[in-house]
Structure 1
């Protein structure tokens, strides 16, 4: 067994303000998305689109935070939050859903693209390349917070998490940081120059993320109070299965389309 490294979730206090590792991970994820998407635009000789990038990052970040919070509220614990509605705004108590955040980003991104005559799928293909960096960093934030830990185990690298009782558990946050973060990023970075139809890289991301997380969820402790489908499938696995289905459907829909262009009418 390995000792859990007790890291203070708060980096520094500035008066009443607390700078937390989890929040820093979000910030670093946004910065990675911004600079690596800008890098891809310059690789393609599309510097004129960088103004749109600035705006999309802003609205995407807003959609991500709102969607992630509302996803946690309505996908996992709607009963509790209906009884305690003010807790919806208590972001400092934790509780963010990746699938809700993804929906939030897609909604704000689609609205912006439609308003400005951009090809939504072109931009979706760009942003899914650096997205795993933010996902991996977010899982490291979960690890530092000692939350979303794994199931009981006797593997040599098991850890006892402060919130998980005295039982050694899988450090599933690190598994997810590796799979959803590093492995998925290397895959998407390798595919970034592929001249595929619009939406193919986004579909690849949906399928790859869904498969990776579906598997790792077997090592993660299910959320207390959230019923399992068929007695074993967690809520996260249910959403991941849906992602894989949507990704495959998108591959079929986009098949034989022309190579991707940034504008809807060009």
Structure 2
């Protein structure tokens, strides 16, 4: 059995100012994303190092604003209406991936207009970068000791102190499972898929499909937010409800873009 090491969420305490691991994980994500983006840009006609830097600024704003606003609206609106100053306590966690995705989509649309590219071109470039942030973000959740899974007797469980039960219990470390599937595995899948020319929008479609499937699966092991609980059938969670449209959109986008590409080939041959 694994035991949670009770990690300190504060990386550096200067007394008047604290640096949290959660924030450092976001910083690491943007640094790694910039590095990988620059590496990819060298292989693509429409991308340069300067353009990658500009894009990541837009993406950062989309992630932070969209992720925070999405969490507030989707998961705990009543609390933040009662405690509005808590909106700014981002070091305590409380970021929604689905809200962040909406924010990033808006940021990509604005950036695409600025540089005269299509939204699909920008989305295909960004898609393989996102799992890097998912990987580091879930590690940040693990360090914070949040988002634990269900109580289990599985050897994959981890012993952790539960303040609500006031005792040590064994739970699934679903933060690490998400880091593995939504981060590492999805990154490898998208990096491999993006290594060859694909119809515009297909890479973004695979990201939506892959993330949606992985997140839907992990939710079976993850505990739902206490103030929301299960939405239906004692198993359907808010995370699964928000992931279903991603799965359908990913399938639809890939089918549409490949179908459109085939039509263009047939038309050009005629």
- Could you state the TM-score of these two structures normalised by the residue count of structure 2? 0.90
Q: Please give the per-residue CA displacement for 1:115-171, whole angstroms capped at 9, x wherever unaligned.
A: 331222112111111221210111111111110001000012322323464321111
| Alignment of 1:253 onto 2:256 | yes
Deviation at 1:227, TM superposition (A): 4.0
Consecutive unaligned residues of structure 2, counting only runs of 5 or more, are 263-270
SS at match of 1:167: strand
Which position in structure 1 is the counterpart of 2:174?
A: 172
**What RMSD, in angstroms, separates the aligned Cα atoms of the two structures?**
1.7
Give yes or no for contact 2:3–2:159 (8 Å, CA) kept in 1: yes
Consecutive unaligned residues of structure 1, counting only runs of 5 or more, are 260-266
Give yes or no for contact 2:62–2:103 (8 Å, CA) kept in 1: yes
Residues 227 and 5 of structure 1: is their aligned pair in 2 closer, same or farther, counting only changes over 3 Å?
Answer: closer
Give, in whole Å, the separation in 1 of the partners of 2:104 and 2:232. 30
Which position in structure 2 is the counterpart of 1:229?
A: 231
What are the residue-to-residue correspondences of 1:1-266 with 2, within 5 Å?
A: 1-46=1-46, 49-163=48-162, 165=165, 166-231=168-233, 232-258=235-261
Deviation at 1:216, TM superposition (A): 1.0
Q: Please give the per-residue CA displacement for 1:205-264, whole angstroms capped at 9, x wherever unaligned.
A: 1001110111111111111011423232110111111100111221233234459xxxxx
Give, in whole Å, the separation in 2 of the partners of 1:236 and 1:258. 33
Give yes or no for contact 2:41–2:52 (8 Å, CA) kept in 1: no
Give yes or no for contact 1:149–1:161 (8 Å, CA) kept in 2: no
Q: Please give the per-residue CA displacement for 1:8-51, whole angstroms capped at 9, x wherever unaligned.
A: 1111123422111111111111112111111111023555x332
Give yes or no for contact 1:8–1:144 (8 Å, CA) kept in 2: yes
Alignment length (residue pairs): 258
Give, in whole Å, the separation in 1 of the partners of 2:93 and 2:22. 9
Give, in whole Å, the separation in 1 of the partners of 2:253 and 2:261. 15
